[in-house]
Structure 1
Amino acid sequence: MGIVINQSIKNTIITYIGFAIGALNTLFMYVQFLGDTYYGLVGYILSAANIMMPLMAFGVHNTLVKFYNEFETEKQKSQFLTFILFLPFILIIPFSLIGYFGYHQIASLLSKKNFIVYDYVWQIPVIALCMGYFEIFYAWVKVHLQSVFGNFIKEVFLRILITISLLAVYYNFITPIQFVFALMGIYLTMTIIMKLYALRVKMPSFQLVIPKNVKAIIWYCIFIILSGSVANLLLEIDKFMLNFYIKIENIAYYSVAIFIATVIAVPSRAMHQITYPITAKLMSENKHDDLNNLYKKTSITLQIIGGLIFIGIILNIHELYKIMPADYSEGIFVVFVIGLSKYFDLILGNNNAIIFNSKYFSAVLILGLLLIGVTISLNIVFIPKFGIKGAAFATLISITLYSLSKLLFVVFKMKLYPFTIATLKSFALLIVTFVLFYFWDFGFNPVLNIVLKSILITAFYLGLSYYLKLSSDINYIINSVFKKIRN
């Protein structure tokens, strides 16, 4: 777990720096500089691009991680990478032709409620393509256990470029319309940088040779396309469908609330960058006990860290919305509901990595596809009646059902168990913290209130967690910090 802790800490720090910059962009710059309409448009474009990304990447970013260790020589690995790089063109070429010749029909359908969308629909597949190839090159460095730089580009560098572009809007160097185009250039830039870094980490000798296990590779790619689409649809379909029923400004309000709730998932995103390839390696070597131990450790560690973030957000949410325009306050309910779904998904540890690298990966896909139907149906029913609150509630039901199905599958099929007695203690600690601090407010400036209350919550929550020894990894980190302070 040494390399896991090391890179997870670095990735967590980087990701939170990125989220701090993202918070500045999302809670202030987008709202004040871009305006609700163009902010809603940007949110819709990125949401649609995320939905499309698994198709444009052809699922090869996860396929690369799964099959990399099966090739023994450097020559075979280089041939495999070359093959992987060209696979996405199986879908890129036909999609490009369909988009070119059918643009008017597609754009008209997507812009029926909000006509502003019409002129920007073509940017969706372009950004999706950049996202896809970024993940492919990122996967290449992850199999070499070098996840930190890619995480920096994805979480920090991307947001810095967005900040610069938003400042350019504020100082009238560019218009909001030009910002939307600049966003596409930003995603292209980060993809090129990731490619150059990947080749620096390990420069392959490019040889286009079809691997012997090509059938297994293709089938796994198809699975990743479908499963990735399921996962992204569950996360993004709400914003995508809001465009069909309500004014695009509401997507801006919803995007802010989703961003706040997504902070809960940051530790999971950071840890999975390094636990995914390690999980794949343990499974390929049939080390069941080591895998079960890793499963438990990731679960309790993420539960404690995620719980702290979740409770911190919920106990400070009203103060946070005081510093934003009043129209955005409708998102408070969305934050709470989506936060619950993120927290539940967080405590499953490296569940996804286990499923995607097992022989049972196709079974869970069927459940996911069924839940997509449920999600779309729930959004169709709830959004017209309740607006963004309806979308949030539909997402909570869908993600909770999907996470629960994956958990039960791993427990009963693979005999791996993420929970221990520490899990119950952590839940109890979360409830006690909520009850103790819910009515505790300061009469100061909202920002100062958030800072002071967060310090008290963190000290109480982490202090009890350390005393109860709920997570050996968290105690190890705290002891390391104390040791450095003493020295």
Structure 2
Amino acid sequence: MGIVRRQGLRNTIISYIGLGLGFVNTTLVLPNFLEPQQLGLTATLSTIAMVYAQIAALGFASVGIRFFPYFRNREVGHHGFLPLLIGVPLLGFAVVTVLYFVGEPLMLHWYADDAALLQPYYAWGAVLALFMLLYSLQDAYLKALYHTAFSSFIQDVVQRLLIVAGALLYAHGTLTFSGYVLWFVGVNGTISLLLTGYLTYIKELHVRPTRAAFRIRPLRELLSVGGFTLLGSLSGSIIMYIDTLMVGAQVNLAAAGIYGVAANISTALAIPARSLNKIAFPLLADYWKQQDMPRMADFYRRTTLLNTVIGCYLALGIGLNIDFIYSLMKSRYAEGIFVVLLLLGSRLFDSITGVNGLIVVTSPRYRYDLIFNVSLSILTVALNWFLIPKLGISGAAVAAVIAQVSINVARTWFVWYSYRLQPFTWRIPLVLGIAAAAALAAWLVPMVHSLLITMLIRSAVLTAVYGAVLLLTRAVPEVNTIVQNLGRKFRFKQN
């Protein structure tokens, strides 16, 4: 757990700095300077590019992390691993790009009511997809090298600062909206170049291809595993992002913008897990290679408990203060309050069920994850198709909740059934009980004349009750150890 603690701590600190910046982006900057329709356009373009990049990657980002332990040898440039990791997806990108432009009339027809707004930026979607592809492949390579903090800093801090800068330039008239969209695309190119520079700095930019890469693991095997991984990750993206696309198509881009803001607020719960997953993925791959099931089981339980503790706190903090959050933006965005609450519930459930997906994907039975994802992606599309016309953006949120809960129940059961690994101990219900008590104490705080003062008091009560009871009950031993160590250091400095 040593490397996980070091890298995880760095990633978590960076992620929470990014969380603050994300809050500024989501509540203070973008919804105040951009109309819902404009936010809906950038969200739709970004989602299309993300799916585009995933298809082009052919699953190689995940395959790279899974198989890198077999290539690892710095002295010989990891046997040409990086050129293989990037080269094959670039060929895939060329093919997908042709299909993307051939399919332009169909895509614009899907967004018939807003086609005139989307069409001028359609070609830039391909450029954005290329930047996202290159970033994801380099990020995967860094994960495999256990260098995750810098990519977290680039994605969670630098990218958000640059987006804020672009929005401020637009608000002051320096950029037109078209200029802001191009700025948004350029930001993704910038962070990709920064990762390339970092790889050069740490002397891991080995770009010379070698035939040894095909001897260590045949390309056919990599493509086979990548194909399954692609379908799985693509299905996962459908589950996670199809709601934004379908809201834009079935309602309008303005509704997609409102939904996107709500989804961004709820993503605060995903940050701790995302930070952990950057180091957990290659670590689990090593556990499988070594067949070290006891350490994997311990890792599964510890990380699930940690995610539960942090997830409960963030979910309650956001949910109890949702009125204050929405008071900081244009009034129309308040239509997304119920969406935030629904999505918080689904993301909290994801935290409580732990790294089940990563265990399945890195296991010998990784193909079964495809069955789960494909089935649930079909269910997600069907639910969105049925619920959005009836319930609007709330229908998309309900569909997302059902999909998230279903896939986590299925994966958790599968991991237990196949490998007798499960993440739950008596500490999980204890933490949930403590969270419920802290939530009740904070909710009982009466509303005062100021939403800001109410938010500060409720947050203070939530933090004090939740933190104190966690420490007193020793629900999370690692937290008590950290507090005791800090206390010793403080007393040492005093003496």
| 1:50 corresponding residue in structure 2 | 50
| 2:214 corresponding residue in structure 1 | 211
Q: Does the C-alpha gap of structure 1 residues 51 and 484 become closer, same or farther in structure 2, counting only changes over 3 Å?
A: farther
Query: What SS does the aligned partner of 2:113 have?
Result: coil
Deviation at 1:144, TM superposition (A): 2.0
Distance 1:104 1:73 in 2: 44
Q: Does the C-alpha gap of structure 1 residues 82 and 55 become closer, same or farther in structure 2, counting only changes over 3 Å?
A: same
Verify the 8 A CA contact 1:50 1:236 in the aligned structure 2.
no
| 2:304 corresponding residue in structure 1 | 299
Question: 1:151-190 counterparts in 2 under 5 A?
Answer: 151-190=152-191
| 1:290 corresponding residue in structure 2 | 295
Deviation at 1:180, TM superposition (A): 0.7
Aligned CA RMSD, in angstroms, stands at: 1.7
Deviation at 1:444, TM superposition (A): 4.3
Distance 2:265 2:82 in 1: 37
Identity rate, percent: 24
Verify the 8 A CA contact 1:113 1:243 in the aligned structure 2.
no
Q: Deviation per CA, 1:374-416: give whole Å up to 9, x if none.
A: 1111101111111100100011001111111111111111111
Q: Which amino acid aligns with 2:152?
A: N
1:128 maps to 2:133: no
| 2:20 corresponding residue in structure 1 | 20
Distance 1:475 1:481 in 2: 10
Verify the 8 A CA contact 1:107 1:117 in the aligned structure 2.
no
Deviation at 1:266, TM superposition (A): 1.1
Deviation at 1:105, TM superposition (A): 1.5
| 1:351 corresponding residue in structure 2 | 356
Verify the 8 A CA contact 1:320 1:447 in the aligned structure 2.
no
1:325 maps to 2:326: no
Distance 2:481 2:192 in 1: 36
Deviation at 1:452, TM superposition (A): 2.6
Aligned counterpart for 1:239 among listed residues 223, 241, 244: 244
Distance 1:436 1:217 in 2: 53
Distance 1:103 1:367 in 2: 28
Distance 1:409 1:266 in 2: 25
Q: Deviation per CA, 1:28-48: give whole Å up to 9, x if none.
A: 211121222211111111122
Distance 2:486 2:167 in 1: 37
Verify the 8 A CA contact 1:14 1:152 in the aligned structure 2.
yes
Detail structure 1 runs of 4+ shifted over 6 Å in the superposition.
Answer: none
Q: Which amino acid aligns with 2:183?
A: A
1:368 maps to 2:373: yes
The TM-score, its normalising length taken from structure 2, stands at 0.94
| 1:109 corresponding residue in structure 2 | 109
After TM superposition, the structure 1 stretch with the greater mean CA deviation from structure 2, 369-378 or 199-208, is: 199-208
Structure 2: runs of 5+ lacking an equivalent: none
Aligned counterpart for 1:378 among listed residues 358, 380, 383: 383
Q: Deviation per CA, 1:289-335: give whole Å up to 9, x if none.
A: 01100000000011011111111111111222223222122211111
After TM superposition, the structure 1 stretch with the greater mean CA deviation from structure 2, 12-21 or 387-396, is: 12-21
Structure 1: runs of 5+ lacking an equivalent: none
Q: Does the C-alpha gap of structure 1 residues 104 and 281 become closer, same or farther in structure 2, counting only changes over 3 Å?
A: closer
Deviation at 1:168, TM superposition (A): 0.6
| 2:441 corresponding residue in structure 1 | 436
| 1:465 corresponding residue in structure 2 | 470
Deviation at 1:18, TM superposition (A): 1.2
Deviation at 1:451, TM superposition (A): 2.4
Verify the 8 A CA contact 1:134 1:191 in the aligned structure 2.
yes
| 1:277 corresponding residue in structure 2 | 282
Q: Does the C-alpha gap of structure 1 residues 84 and 392 become closer, same or farther in structure 2, counting only changes over 3 Å?
A: same
Verify the 8 A CA contact 1:292 1:418 in the aligned structure 2.
yes
Question: 1:81-96 counterparts in 2 under 5 A?
Answer: 81-96=82-97
Query: What SS does the aligned partner of 1:349 have?
Result: coil
Deviation at 1:440, TM superposition (A): 1.4
Q: Which amino acid aligns with 1:464?
A: V
